């Protein structure tokens, strides 16, 4: 039997909960916080809208997909973007925005650890995937890279969706709700530096950098910080 996926309109926050693993549906955890911040807002949360407006004024969010699986070099372990948004500019140009929520969790294991999978040398299957991702990015990612592997495949997913939708621009946006994992910011900076972006700041938009298989997709990177709703409500930090 082939892999089958379904989707439905998320009319309430409880609908979000139905597609999020229970262990992640906890106040101050990223899945819960994304639902609280994004559900019911007019297009984008105000903090996100301000950042995106620096490159895309009056950007319209047409629709978004939560936990969207993007298949990579095979049908195993697709990259599941927290929220993939399909947007358009006033001129009618398409823009894909991939949103990754973060609290205390890291960007997965460092590439150097992930590609070895507990072995002393990179494994064949993971080396193959890293090569695929490098080709999709248009930038070689070293098997000894120390930044989180998740940053690589999330950015590749945005590029993949841009190519699929005919969008010439995309954004990887980190929506952070905690300062408890400071290594996430250093990982983010190290990764964007690998792609050729040296100047990145929080609550700002960096880029674009022209990457992709033909180096013709303009990708921006953004980091937006907000206070966790769980903290505001006085609920304990997970």
What number of H helices and E strands is found in the chain?
8, 6
Note the pLDDT tens digit of each residue in 159-216. Answer: 999 999 999 999 999 999 876 667 899 999 999 999 999 888 888 999 999 999 999 9
The model's pLDDT over 36-90, given as tens digits with 9 standing for 90+, comes to 999 988 889 999 999 999 999 999 999 999 998 999 998 888 999 999 999 999 9
Strand order in the sheet with 60-70: 60-70, 79-88, 94-102, 169-176, 217-225, 204-211
Q: What is the band of 231 on the pLDDT scale with cuts at 50, 70, 90?
A: low
Structure tokens at 132: 């695929």
Report domain extents, the chain.
Answer: 19-232
Q: Copy the structure tokens of residue 225.
A: 């910080």
Write the pLDDT tens digit of every residue in 100-153.
999 888 999 999 999 999 999 999 999 999 999 999 999 999 999 999 999 999
Classify 155 as helix, strand or coil. helix
Residue pair 106/100 in contact by the 8 Å Cβ criterion: no
């Amino acid at each position: 039997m082939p892999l089958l996926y379904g989707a439905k309109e998320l009319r309430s926050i409880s609908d979000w909960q139905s597609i999020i693993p229970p262990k992640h549906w906890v106040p101050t955890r990223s899945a819960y916080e994304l639902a609280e911040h994004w559900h019911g807002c007019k297009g984008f949360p105000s903090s996100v809208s301000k950042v995106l407006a620096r490159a895309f004024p009056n950007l319209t969010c047409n629709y978004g997909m939560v936990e969207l699986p993007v298949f990579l070099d095979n049908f195993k372990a697709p990259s599941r973007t927290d929220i993939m948004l399909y947007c358009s500019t006033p001129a009618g140009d398409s823009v894909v925005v991939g949103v990754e929520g973060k609290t205390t969790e890291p960007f997965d294991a460092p590439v150097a650890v992930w590609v070895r999978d507990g072995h002393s040398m990179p494994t064949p299957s993971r080396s193959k995937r890293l090569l695929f991702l490098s080709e999709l990015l248009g930038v070689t990612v070293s098997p000894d890279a120390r930044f989180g592997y998740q940053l690589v495949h999330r950015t590749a997913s945005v590029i993949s969706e841009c190519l699929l939708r005919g969008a010439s621009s995309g954004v990887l946006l980190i929506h952070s709700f905690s300062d408890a994992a400071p290594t996430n910011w250093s990982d983010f900076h190290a990764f964007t530096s690998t792609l050729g972006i040296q100047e990145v700041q929080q609550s700002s938009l960096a880029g674009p950098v022209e990457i992709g298989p033909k180096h013709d997709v303009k990708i921006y990177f953004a980091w937006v910080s907000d206070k966790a709703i769980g903290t505001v409500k006085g609920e304990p930090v997970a």
